[in-house]
Structure 1
Amino acid sequence: MAHLLSRRDLDFLLYEWLDITSLTDRDRFSAHSRDTFDGVLDLSSEMAGKLFAPHNKAGDQSPPRLGDDGRVELIDDVKTALDAYAAADLIAAAFPESLGGLDLPTTISRASMAWFQAANPGTSSYALLTTANANLLAAHGSPEQIDTWVRPMLRGDFSGTMCLSEPQAGSSLADITTKALPVGDGTYRISGTKMWISGGEHELTDNIVHLVLAKTPGGGPGVKGISLFIVPKLLPDGTRNDVALVGLNHKMGNRGTSNTLLNFGDGTHPVTGGTGAVGYLVGEEHRGLTYMFHMMNEARIGVGFLATAIGYAGYLASVDYAKVRTQGRPVAGRDPAAGPVPIIEHADVKRMLLAQKSYVQGALALGLYCSRLVDIEATSDGDERARTHLLLEVLTPIAKAWPSQWCLEANSLAIQVHGGYGYTTEFDVEQCYRDNRLNPIHEGTNGIQGLDLLGRKVVMADGAGLALLIETITATIEATPAGGAPAEFAAALRIAITDLAATTAALWADGNPAVALTNSSVYLQAAGHIVIAWMWLEQLIAVGDSAGAFYDGKRAAARYFFRFELPSTRPQLALLASLDQTTAQTDPAWFTS
């Protein structure tokens, strides 16, 4: 790929808009400066381009496979890249110094990872999962567990996974059947099957630390009975644990990451006697889902970044192509004798490029904004901490779902810009689309994110979450200078958030979830568009009167989003407010033909 991300855009978002260097005023980040932040971003850009991007196609064309000895085989470049990533301390960068980290702000760490995600979604996912796994255990594990499992992961010696889904349960965690039985020595025996486990088996690291949800005795039905366990591939003494690879899943995209079906306790293990895999309880029994949400929420924002990064790479590829591909002549004053013009001169191609730009740069702004909230929450207390946490809670389902829907659309438009060539494997954009198509599904489908947003987040604490979001957006509206396009867009955004509040109230007026949640995916789309419009208004305020092509491009993308995209929320909100039950009242028998 010629380009992965725009460093100029990152610098604008981090320094001109978010003023990320102000985080260095906080004790935790006081050892840093813009110089250290730039150093991390420079290193990330260089490593992503030299070590990750070159084997992106190779990893797609030669995905993980089972060797004759039952081991998972990957192309050699994957391990080379990940070893270099770990050696550069990028896994540990955002962790405390006490764990060998650099106390780097999450915002910079996420920006760093975006380079690798844009360069190679498959390879970067191993590192992303390991970081999220280590974060959970650093927050909820015992000191012994941190020493035994977290420190090796931060060095890159071990890798990590999250094991939630099961073949029969899918996303319905209340229906998992994996069991954990205490054996009296402080350990448990885990038995069951887990599906769709990314990074679940490979030879990239010395060990794999699985975080497994399982039910212990006495926990009751549903999610209340779920506990969380560390179930390593190898036990501390080097013995193979009773974790067996049943098979590899073969995906249409993101093929470089091994995706597995794992069996815990197959009945033949020489150490456990077939009673199950050895597991170590994290925290307290029956609080497993609470702990796992620490990793899940981090992973959801990570999925949003992954979708954004893939969308961004496809956007830049289509811009490069549109500049050099010549075809057709201007609509006005056609001269058959004149040569064809670059397709970037055509209005419809500009539309497709502007749409992509508005999606990927709006999504990147949202991801970085949420990351900054993580940094503020981690270094605050009292009311500031509580308000930051609440705002992050409300934004998380949007930060996962909106990029995974609309940056996928950006990839679709990138293919369209390429014309027939975009549909071929010789160009990068077709792989971008296939890689990105996973993101609306994993870490909670977008439908689940809609249920979470409308069913939980905007109504929590008597609507405090939605009230805080509207209050925060309103503060941006009030800060918009009078006159000109920004004022016009601020007025449109004010109408949109007023409609959102009224629609939310109408949906929950009768307190009937069956009615309110019928069209929660539509609610998610509308709320997401409103939030991205807010991100664009924020960027416009930061642009101010600055001159130059970069800033003019920001103005054009903002204008596109407010005039082409935000108006779509009005009919969506009107549909929601009508309490339409078309989908809920559809009889499954009507799908017979």
Structure 2
Amino acid sequence: MPAPILSRRDIEFFLYEMFDVESLTTRERYQDHDRESFDAAIDIAQAIAEKYYVPIRLKVDSNQPTFDGKKVHIIPEIKEGLDAVIEAGLTAPTTDYAMGGMQLPQIAASGASAYIAAAASTSIGYLSLTHANSNLIEAYGTPEQINKWVTPQRQGRFFGTMAMTEPGAGSGLGDLTTSATKEEDGTYRVKGNKIWISGGDHDLSENIVHLVLARVKGAPKGVKGISLFIVPKYLVGDDGKIGDRNEVALAGLFHKMGGRGQTSTALSFGEQNGAEAYLVGEENKGLMYMFHMMNEARILVGTGAALTALTGFQYSLDYAKGRPQGRLLSAKDPLAPPVNIIEHPDVRRMLLTQKAYSEGAYALCLYGHQLSEDEKTAPTESERKHASTILDFLTPIIKSWPSEWGPKSNDLAIQVLGGHGYVNEHPVEMFYRDNRLNPIHEGTTGIQSLDLLCRKVPMNDFKGYQAFLAEIQLTAESVKLTESLQTYAVALQHAVDNLKEVTTSVMGASKTQNLDLVFSNSVSYLNMFGHLTIAWLWLRQAEIATKQLGKAPHSDDEKFYHGKIQAMKYFFNSELPLTYHWGNLVKNIDSASFDTHPDWL
């Protein structure tokens, strides 16, 4: 039998035991749903993943999209898989029934989509970006724009992208040069070049709806002068019919180390008269609008990284259970049969580390999806605002921690397989390459760390920072009532106290010292806060597992819960102590990298 894509038991644990998704059915929007409908969505997604995506993993990885100067060529199996997802209604499972969606809670939709995301890698990115594109236009567009551009995207007829990065302006969006000129009829003409546009060109859909950042002539310099435009590949009439080709040209394809199912493109807009474009919202507010899509995409990146780590863990675990090799040190008989490699302590160490990283990362992402759900549908305004405050604060961590530690998990999966790990007859080396893109996607780790330390922590008089730490404190106080977990609850509280001390110190230093120096260890701060967050989530899992073990579950569940507790112990013993080292670098304003002269490198 092939290795499982994911652990279904683990998904059920997160959805129903840890995050209590069933409780959402008491909210008016979800009264039609119950556990049976949630499980049915997962069943459908698992079936699609196993039928359409697992069999083509190697083919997708070995056959990158090509461009012959006129047309992009993509293996046909990718479209077959996307069509199956669209036909199943999983294109936008959280969308209203009226728009063709399943109207699932966001966290339930994430659980339902997990199998497809794990099996398809970036091949499913065409639909993920389309969903995020539609959400943005729904939030800020006119009714006419929603009807013309969102409806066909929800139906799977049009796909969507976001086009921000330029050859001369990567993460520094304030320097973008793409221009927009207003016409007498209220439309605009956009001219400029964009790069790294995922899904920027293909023939997988009838049309492609680009959301493009550009500067209207005469607008203020920097980020305050950026506007957002809908720029379709093909123009669309008021009757909804596809018209002429717009001035959106594919300048070339990039070929990445992983994630090869989705085109990565360089696009040229308006090489002659300008590409016809339609303003979203108001001029000069484009970056604010785009952050609606970017923040959603950041959570998707973190979720994808976690799922890629999880599927690598499942594959290496399955391999280790069935691969005989060597004997234990304690074995004295050289003629004794070899043991399966999972019996070797170091292999179990690598598997347990993967479990701690990957399941911890996925718990973090689901927590983010839960916050996003509560932000929209929690019963009271105060609950919605509280969820929004924490989600805004945590987004850099949700994006970055899985993206950094997910590839480390995949690296260990390769090591578990030994020589079989780095050949493409096994997919673990592909998982690593796919996942290695995520620390760069949607803002590098360095950028996310500066966002966290310089902006999110002090924002609104430290409101998000304090609200989240209060959540951790509540868990620690609750867990201290369980005798077997008291030591870990106290360890978590000590780590929080250390984080507070580091934060106070660095914020004080920022008022009197060179900011570039003070914040030069921001990645260490992000690592510290991320590890603390994962420790908190593992303690929550261990608390649930301990209570369930007290109810004498059947043997399979007993093993499952012991696994949760053991992974928590590993993380607290081997990973949480690292937060003190990172904290010292930040608090003491270690200047080793800052003082390094470029000529010394």
**2:396 matches 1:397:** yes
Give 1:511 shift. Answer: 3.1
Q: Which position in structure 2 is the counterpart of 1:175?
A: 175
Give 1:217 shift. Answer: 2.7
Kept after mapping to 2: 8 A contact 1:86/1:154 = no
Q: Which position in structure 1 is the counterpart of 2:122?
A: 122
Q: Which position in structure 1 is the counterpart of 2:240?
A: none
Kept after mapping to 2: 8 A contact 1:138/1:146 = yes
Q: Which position in structure 1 is the counterpart of 2:286?
A: 288
SS of residue in 1 equivalent to 2:104: coil
SS of residue in 2 equivalent to 1:399: helix
Q: Which of 220, 241, 249 is the matching residue for 2:246? A: 241
Amino acid aligned to 1:410 = S
Q: Which position in structure 2 is the counterpart of 1:330?
A: 328
Partners in 1 of 2:497 and 2:308 — Cα distance? 33
Partners in 2 of 1:184 and 1:335 — Cα distance? 89
Kept after mapping to 1: 8 A contact 2:166/2:195 = yes
Amino acid aligned to 2:11 = L
Structure 1 residue ranges without an equivalent (≥5): 267-273
Q: Which of 326, 337, 346 is the matching residue for 1:339? A: 337
Q: Which position in structure 2 is the counterpart of 1:253?
A: 258
Kept after mapping to 2: 8 A contact 1:354/1:557 = yes
Call closer, same or farther: CA 1:565–1:485 in 2, change over 3 Å. Answer: farther
Q: Deviations over 1:84-133 (max 9, x none)?
A: 11111111320122323222111111122221111011311111111111
Kept after mapping to 2: 8 A contact 1:243/1:262 = yes
Q: Which position in structure 2 is the counterpart of 1:269?
A: none
Q: Which position in structure 1 is the counterpart of 2:555?
A: none
Q: Deviations over 1:18-73 (max 9, x none)?
A: 111111111111211111111111111111111122112111101111136x1111
Superposition pairs for residues 111-150 of structure 1, below 5 Å?
Answer: 111-150=111-150
SS of residue in 2 equivalent to 1:159: strand
Compute the TM-score of the two structures, normalised by the length of structure 2.
0.95
Q: Which of 513, 536, 540 is the matching residue for 1:538? A: 540
Partners in 2 of 1:333 and 1:204 — Cα distance? 58
Q: Which position in structure 1 is the counterpart of 2:553?
A: none
Q: Give aligned pairs, total.
A: 583
**2:461 matches 1:457:** no
Q: Which position in structure 2 is the counterpart of 1:417?
A: 416
Kept after mapping to 1: 8 A contact 2:65/2:263 = yes
Q: Which of 506, 522, 525 is the matching residue for 2:524? A: 522
Q: Which position in structure 1 is the counterpart of 2:584?
A: 574
Q: Which position in structure 1 is the counterpart of 2:569?
A: 559
Q: Deviations over 1:446-467 (max 9, x none)?
A: 1111011111111101111111
Comparing 117-126 with 342-351, which one deviates more in the overlay? Answer: 117-126
Give 1:382 shift. Answer: 2.5
Amino acid aligned to 1:534 = W
Kept after mapping to 1: 8 A contact 2:105/2:373 = yes
SS of residue in 1 equivalent to 2:190: strand
Amino acid aligned to 1:314 = G
Partners in 2 of 1:161 and 1:216 — Cα distance? 21
Q: Deviations over 1:435-478 (max 9, x none)?
A: 11100001111111101111111110111111111101001111
SS of residue in 2 equivalent to 1:197: strand
Kept after mapping to 1: 8 A contact 2:480/2:489 = no
Give 1:221 shift. Answer: 1.2
Superposition pairs for residues 235-384 of structure 1, below 5 Å?
Answer: 235-237=235-237, 238-266=243-271, 274-380=272-378, 381-384=380-383
**2:435 matches 1:436:** yes
Partners in 2 of 1:545 and 1:32 — Cα distance? 28
Partners in 2 of 1:248 and 1:521 — Cα distance? 32
Q: Deviations over 1:236-276 (max 9, x none)?
A: 1411000000000011100111000000011xxxxxxx221
Kept after mapping to 2: 8 A contact 1:87/1:155 = no
Q: Which position in structure 2 is the counterpart of 1:200?
A: 200
Kept after mapping to 2: 8 A contact 1:94/1:104 = yes
Partners in 2 of 1:87 and 1:449 — Cα distance? 36
Amino acid aligned to 2:115 = W
Amino acid aligned to 2:269 = F
Amino acid aligned to 2:64 = P
Kept after mapping to 2: 8 A contact 1:376/1:385 = yes
Give 1:544 shift. Answer: 2.4
Give 1:567 shift. Answer: 0.7
Comparing 346-355 with 572-581, which one deviates more in the overlay? Answer: 572-581
Kept after mapping to 2: 8 A contact 1:303/1:400 = yes
Q: Deviations over 1:345-386 (max 9, x none)?
A: 011000000000001111111111110111111013522221
SS of residue in 2 equivalent to 1:83: helix
Q: Which position in structure 1 is the counterpart of 2:386?
A: 387
Kept after mapping to 1: 8 A contact 2:38/2:112 = no
Amino acid aligned to 2:579 = T
Q: Which position in structure 2 is the counterpart of 1:96?
A: 96
Aligned residues: percent identity?
Answer: 48
Amino acid aligned to 2:531 = H
Kept after mapping to 2: 8 A contact 1:200/1:259 = yes
Kept after mapping to 1: 8 A contact 2:42/2:113 = no
Compute the TM-score of the two structures, normalised by the length of structure 1.
0.97
Q: Deviations over 1:273-325 (max 9, x none)?
A: x2210111001111101110111001000001111111111111100111111
Kept after mapping to 2: 8 A contact 1:59/1:122 = no
Kept after mapping to 2: 8 A contact 1:158/1:208 = yes
SS of residue in 2 equivalent to 1:212: strand
Partners in 2 of 1:334 and 1:418 — Cα distance? 25
SS of residue in 2 equivalent to 1:470: helix
Q: Which position in structure 1 is the counterpart of 2:43?
A: 42
Partners in 2 of 1:288 and 1:407 — Cα distance? 32
Partners in 2 of 1:63 and 1:161 — Cα distance? 19
Partners in 1 of 2:182 and 2:579 — Cα distance? 52
